[in-house]
A and B are shown apart, each in its own frame.
Chain A
């Protein structure tokens, strides 16, 4: 079956612009996660959704970051007023449920902020 898909695969933007990153989880997976992979910080957890609800947003690095999920499926991560330190690979994962379940990752969106 289809895995987790993400778009775009690459995004180059200018400092100060807004960007939207999309994630399409595996069908039937109720839990969805966003992570960030950067050279200096390794793999960082950002936010998760159980259905359409995001109970804990404390992993988001600043208030410029927001995420939503609609219909229990597609999720969008939005970064407003991008900064150079936002350059990273943004990974999305999904799982059947949360709490010890295997998370399946998408290929990531490589974001470069000039």
Chain B
């Protein structure tokens, strides 16, 4: 079945540092790929998405590129802020499936 593997945390960074969270996937079809974010005390929010190979999703300074050749969708941000402290989830949904398959989540803490 479909699955997502993302790097384990927790990750602790200083403000303005570069953030990368690795995500790889296994899917039999042609999945859409997502990054969701969960800020402290809040629900899951869509951060960005990509629906086909080589697409780049971007939002709030975060970017991720759908790499079919390496089955990856790594999340990057060039300069993090304290407000980026959250749990980040990589997920996929196959067009022939109905559920989101999530990675385990990566907790990111940004210190001033």
A binds B: yes
**A-to-B contact residues, CB < 8 Å:** 31, 33, 35, 42-43, 45, 48, 50, 56, 59, 91, 93, 98-108
Contacts of B40 in A (CB 8 A): none
CA distance in complex: A91, B44 (Å):
9
Complex contact B97–A103 (CB within 8 A): no
Contacts of A33 in B (CB 8 A): 98-100
CA distance in complex: A3, B3 (Å):
28
CA distance in complex: A59, B100 (Å):
12
CA distance in complex: A47, B53 (Å):
28
Complex contact B95–A102 (CB within 8 A): no
Complex contact A56–B43 (CB within 8 A): no
The minimal Cβ–Cβ distance linking A109 to chain B, given in whole angstroms, is 11
Complex contact B102–A43 (CB within 8 A): yes
Total interface residues in chain B, CB < 8 Å: 24
CA distance in complex: A96, B100 (Å):
14
Contacts of A100 in B (CB 8 A): 31-32, 51, 93-95
The minimal Cβ–Cβ distance linking A47 to chain B, given in whole angstroms, is 9
CA distance in complex: A108, B36 (Å):
15
Contacts of A91 in B (CB 8 A): 43-44
Instruction: Report if B104 contacts A (CB, 8 A).
Output: yes
| Contact for A101 among B36, B42, B93, CB less than 8 A | B93
A/B pair count, beta carbons within 8 Å: 56
CA distance in complex: A31, B112 (Å):
41
Complex contact B99–A48 (CB within 8 A): yes
Besides A45-B100, A99-B94, 7 other CB < 8 A contacts? A31-B98, A42-B105, A45-B99, A98-B98, A99-B98, A100-B94, A107-B43
Smallest Cβ-Cβ distance to B99: which chain A residue: A45
Q: Provided the pairs A42-B104, A43-B89 are in contact, do residues A99 and B45 lie with their beta carbons within 8 angstroms? A: no
| Contact for B34 among A56, A59, A102, CB less than 8 A | A102
Instruction: Report if B49 contacts A (CB, 8 A).
Output: yes
Complex contact B45–A105 (CB within 8 A): yes
20 of the cross-chain contacts (CB-CB < 8 Å) are: A31-B98, A33-B98, A43-B105, A48-B99, A50-B98, A91-B43, A93-B44, A93-B100, A98-B97, A99-B93, A99-B95, A99-B96, A100-B32, A100-B95, A102-B46, A102-B49, A103-B46, A103-B100, A105-B36, A105-B44
